[in-house]
Chain A
């Protein structure tokens, strides 16, 4: 029994996303990044750098075909996600939860917990998210001593997920409209012109959300710098989960304890980078980006 005790501990790495979800994320990530690379030179054709980007692809026609191809891939990824969601909900409705399994000999992954059971309704927004958002901002401003207790997805993560859904619908629809204007002349042509304004400006909205918001959470936050591991092998550190998703962590601990397993109390040990220079440099960079964006877009809004 004593020999097996270690095997029954809550593992260091906890599975957060399964292979299916990571493949879907990869498809989305690659297509969106390629769409940004091949689309922004067209939006900013008047700028000198646009021609350099076009030359990288050996001409406008090549670059544009790459753009169209990845547009199709992005839409297919989104459709696949919807089908996968529907299929998973239907098939998992009457299924028992998978048992907690752990192989002590599996030194390669150390992933023990069959934690992820595919899609669940944890992503759905709720009243708690509004409260969390207010309390989180109060906490960041120093108006509250403690941060709100987040569950599997924080309010920011839910915001990002639904922003992607909005973005794919808007970009996909306006993109198809611009690709095949001859099929959309049941609308007046100025509606196609509006479609171009929508496509090019939502592109900027999405790029900003991705490069500023999402990249900070997944790459540039000193907590995960240079990158979070969760999009690659789907795992998150136990301590990291405890800190960022305490409610989910507590449920996990209870589940483990109910099965008679051990949960180490790793209090006081930080899984995060503590590099002060990195934090300060990032602070300077993000303040500069903030000022630059406000400086650029407030006058545009007021003109």
Chain B
């Protein structure tokens, strides 16, 4: 009997298997679609829909005095940032009511948001408040750096993202938005700065010596660049002992600064003299030699004399 019905049995088994596979695929597909829908729903925190109903319009603008300010927020950028799950009003606490009571813009907005960052980022917020950037912000000084100046606004990314403002590839460029002039020029002239510019991310950037959140003037004993603390920053990369000599000398000077960088300046001048020796020794001899060769050739002698040179 078994052997006789074996063909039928195989057919039943195969059909059954197909049905099972079909059902399994269909249901898993359905569940997957449900999962995607759930993800999509979760991507937009509750309440944001109301905000974006106006602020996702690219033409949304307001004017403050003479200035025209765009109020547009690209939902796609927001969704790609690390804060996709954070509601608009978690950071924009001043605009919870509609119509907005007292909306602020620019640096004022940055200060308002900065205060809210430490709701989650407590340690960073504490460090920032103790730093020169934070102290200046507390004193209401214009032009200081807020969280958003180094981390971005709606586009905040983790540090390992090449787009992040505080990614190792972008730190120097980001600091240079405010810090320009002699110090930045001297850094860019240094090996650290040159290597960094040429794409070497292991080369020390601003934050490696000055830290990210605890930046203080070198005169402050708590500063990472205070002479007592600077050697520790050097050996963090170079190894060896954090001896005081690491800090001996004025940082961020160039060969052109005769007063602060005198040892560099005088060395540069000595080597410029050597370069001049090169130029004055080599080129007139070459030029006169060529003239001699041309004249010797045109006169048809010189070689016959045997010893033209």
Binding site for B on A (CB under 8 A): 41-43, 45-46, 50-51, 54, 59-61, 64, 136-137, 140-141, 146-147, 149-150, 156, 159, 178, 181-183, 185-191, 193-194, 196-198, 201-202, 204-205, 208-209, 212-213, 216, 221-223, 242-244, 246, 267-268, 270, 272, 274, 276, 279-280, 282-283, 286-287, 289-290, 293-294, 297-298, 300-301, 303
Contact = CB atoms under 8 A, between A and B. Distances in A.
Report the contact-size class of chain B (Cβ under 8 Å from the partner). 35 or more
A286 B287 contact: yes
A60 B193 CA distance: 13
A212 B278 contact: yes
Contacts, number: 186
Given A197-B267, A272-B303, A60 B195 contact: yes
Contact of B272 (A54, A287, A297): A297
Contacts of A212: 278-279, 282-283, 286
Contacts of A150: 309
Contact of A290 (B234, B235, B238, B284): B284
Q: Is the interface of A mostly helix, strand, loop or mixed?
A: helix
A34 B269 CA distance: 27
B289 A140 contact: yes
Nearest to A291: B283
Contacts of B299: none
B294 interface: yes
Contacts of A303: 256
Interface stretch (B85-93, B103-111, B247-255): B247-255
B202 interface: yes
Contact of B297 (A191, A221, A243, A274): A274
A54 B247 CA distance: 31
Q: Could you say which of A137, A185, A280 has the most chain B C-beta atoms within 10 Å of its C-beta?
A: A185
Contacts of A189: 234, 245-249
B306 A286 contact: no
Contacts of A280: 294
Given A45-B198, A51-B198, A242-B306, A183 B282 contact: no
Given A42-B195, A280-B294, A283-B294, 19 more contacts: A41-B198, A45-B188, A45-B198, A50-B198, A51-B199, A60-B195, A147-B308, A185-B241, A185-B245, A186-B245, A191-B263, A197-B271, A201-B267, A202-B271, A205-B271, A243-B303, A267-B304, A293-B283, A297-B275
